[in-house]
Structure 1
Amino acid sequence: MMRNLTTLVLIGLLAACKPAADSAPAEKEPAALPVPEARADGPAAATTAISLDGEGLRFVDKANGKTSLLAFGVPRVQAEEALGRVMGKESDRSSNAECGAGPMDFTRYDAMTLNFQDGKFAGWFLGNEPGAENYSTMSGIAVGTPRAKAAASVKLIAIEDSTLGEEFSLGEGEKAIGGMFAAPGDDAKIDALFAGVNCFFR
């Protein structure tokens, strides 16, 4: 009886010492798709900068600093030709019949989207995407600018209880540029800028 018990104990110890089966190898995460580089390869790209404006987009001659405004209200073809001369061919065209401001059409050039209503330039939206670095206000505010730095150069007004998140405006009035921060706090960076009519659902 004692011998049988000893044998059973030895068998149990050997089983406990047996190495565990190798666990199944973890699946590899799929490789991230490469982000396409922004083009900015229009015929006037080397000589013209684009400044964000509450009344449209302002084109700046890099040689002498002279500016010209592409104002809201111009025909769609004129707006597309003007931006295309600097940014190159558009990335995408689309439409949305259910925007809060009514049906809208869009032409996108990398990070910049031009908004149209009734065939006319009505607004723009600049997202945090490749190509955003090609745009800033005349005072140097751009996507990626920290809140504290923006507040030091312009009157920064927080939009309370906004359904868009950390929304703000640069100054007051209908011609002010709007935007959104990526998060609360002084270190938060601007994640988007916009002006004119946009396809928002508030």
Structure 2
Amino acid sequence: MIMRKLVALFILAALAACKPAADKPVADGDDKAVPTAPAVPEAKADGPAAATLAVSLDGEGLRFIDKATGKASLLSFGVPRAQAETALANVAGKEDDRSTNEECGAGTMEFTRYDAMTLNFQGGKFVGWFLGNENGAASYSTMSGIGIGTTRAKAKESVAIVDLEDSTLGEEFSIGTGDNVIGGMFAEPGDAAKIDALFAGTNCFFR
């Protein structure tokens, strides 16, 4: 349980750059009232191509799969920001928000969030993505079916998992080789642990 809380804290820190701070409501006459979190809306997935395209997680970007034919098209890291945003919005619907963080270890980064998926940009180019354990996460998985909520035991049936020892992010791991590497974090140790986050490319982590 302690490890789960630590992982959650690290993920929240990683996502701090991707979400603007919410206004804190204050009760009349009480400037110390406890803030109330707004209700989390359901995932949209209402883009014009949502019924015909699926989005697959990839270490080189995102793959768009034609549900009827199985044909895949790679949206690779390095494409212009507008192209990446348009491609994902075509499936996920309009973005939820945009933000910028000037303190990332990799340098200033910009972000566009669509429910659980955040696209990362530098210099106007698509450089990475981050999938959190939030509404809409179930819409994404790797070509081998690994996604948020997949257990370590299940993932090991189709891929080799490399644990990153002494990671400051918690139960961090990677799958894939070469340029096609996807990183992630389990909620806790053990084969029953579920994946809490997945990411690839350049991300704004504070290690």
Aligned partner of residue 154 in structure 2, secondary structure: helix
The sequence identity of aligned pairs, in percent, is: 75
Q: Which has the larger radius of gyration?
A: 1
> 1:93 and 1:48 mapped to 2: Cα distance?
24
Which residue of 1 is the match for residue 134 of structure 2?
Answer: 129
Offset at residue 173 of structure 1 (A): 3.1
Cα contact 1:47–1:61 (8 A) shared by 2: yes
Cα contact 1:175–1:196 (8 A) shared by 2: no
Which residue of 2 is the match for residue 89 of structure 1?
Answer: 94
Which residue of 1 is the match for residue 82 of structure 2?
Answer: 77
CA offsets, 1:24-60, max 9 Å, x none? xxxxxx9875321000000000000000000000000
Which residue of 2 is the match for residue 102 of structure 1?
Answer: 107
Q: Which of 161, 182, 188 in structure 1 is aligned with 2:187?
A: 182
> 1:69 and 1:32 mapped to 2: Cα distance?
37
Q: Which of 122, 147, 153 in structure 1 is aligned with 2:158?
A: 153
CA offsets, 1:162-186, max 9 Å, x none? 0110000012334300000001111
Aligned partner of residue 80 in structure 1, secondary structure: helix
CA offsets, 1:142-171, max 9 Å, x none? 000000110111011000000110000012
Cα contact 1:123–1:195 (8 A) shared by 2: yes
Question: TM-score scaled by structure 1?
Answer: 0.83
Question: TM-score scaled by structure 2?
Answer: 0.81
Runs of 4 or more, structure 1, over 6 Å off, are none
Cα contact 2:47–2:89 (8 A) shared by 1: yes
Cα contact 1:177–1:193 (8 A) shared by 2: yes
> 1:94 and 1:32 mapped to 2: Cα distance?
20
CA offsets, 1:118-149, max 9 Å, x none? 00000000000000000000000000000011
